[in-house]
Amino acid sequence: MKTLISKVKHMAIKTKNNGNCVQFLDHSLQDPMCQKIIQSMNSIDINKLGITGRDASSDSYHFQKNLNRVTIEGNEDYRLVLFFIKKGTVMPLHDHPNMSVYFKLLFGKLNYTQYDKVEEKFRYNKFSNDEYDEMLQTKKRIHAKKSVDKVIEGENLLLVRPSLGNLHKFVAEEDSCFFDICLPNYTADSERKITYFNDVTETPGCDAHSKGEKCDTILEYYTTPPVMPVGFDIAELEYQGELQEAQKMF
Ligand SMILES: [Fe+2]
């Protein structure tokens, strides 16, 4: 049986061969290899990932800061990471432009809010790097739709696609851990650059408000690395799973 990492690599090649295009990524769930990735994620044994407990007191290594990230493997075509997030911590609202993401909650409880950008230009980052920089500087405001606002707990798998649930934010209601596979990964280029947004729906002054139109959600372009959202402090940690076990699993 193919290991999870080889399935991800296989899918990354297939995605690249399709030009990382939105249509392929939106429909990639129908691909048997995607189904195999999901099956593998659903049968992961967390003990083999080097996780020693399900909270900060039983796994102090993985809960060193409020937000902790373990990169298992990654390049511009794919990325496998574990996030450990302490109770009360907010993962700020961010997008995954022109990407698919397999998001598996391994333990804990998260308040999960998901949005989609309305206009195609912003949904698919159809702008140049220069225009992007200007949008950040001017704190460009765009329309979005809130599609999910719920509490997720236990083992839960969520799928992000370029045209479905592409922005999200979560707040940890308990010490939590999730496994993220991005396919393809973020790039420095505006096409797949991560952006953090502020939800400014309640702030008067957006175009739609001034025209008297009804709007669901207004998001403001906020920041992108290396400038991180205020209060965002993440520990980058080494993978602690046994190599032999990881090879078997991945
Ligand atoms: Fe995300």
pTM of the shown model: 0.91
pLDDT digits (tens, 9 = 90+) for 106-156: 999 999 999 999 999 999 999 999 999 999 999 999 999 999 999 999 888
CA distance 241 to 197: 33
In a domain, 180, yes or no: yes
- Residue 182 CA to ligand 1 center (angstroms) comes to 9
CATH code for the domain in which residue 11 is found: 2.60.120.10
Confidence at residue 23, expressed as pLDDT on a 0 to 100 scale: 94
Confidence at residue 105, expressed as pLDDT on a 0 to 100 scale: 96
Confidence at residue 155, expressed as pLDDT on a 0 to 100 scale: 81
pLDDT beneath 70: ranges in the chain: 1-2, 204-215, 242-250
User: Which residues 6+ apart lie within 8 Å of 79 measured at CB?
Assistant: 71, 73, 180, 181, 182, 185, 186
CA distance 250 to 129: 36
- Residue 113 CA to ligand 1 center (angstroms) comes to 11
Confidence at residue 130, expressed as pLDDT on a 0 to 100 scale: 96
In a domain, 247, yes or no: no
In a domain, 181, yes or no: yes
Report the number of distinct structural domains present in the chain: 1
In a domain, 161, yes or no: yes
- Residue 236 CA to ligand 1 center (angstroms) comes to 16
In a domain, 243, yes or no: no
In a domain, 79, yes or no: yes
- Residue 96 CA to ligand 1 center (angstroms) comes to 6
- Residue 93 CA to ligand 1 center (angstroms) comes to 8
Q: Is 76 exposed, middle or buried (0-12, 13-18, 19+ CB in 10 A)?
A: middle
What is the domain range of residue 219? 4-238
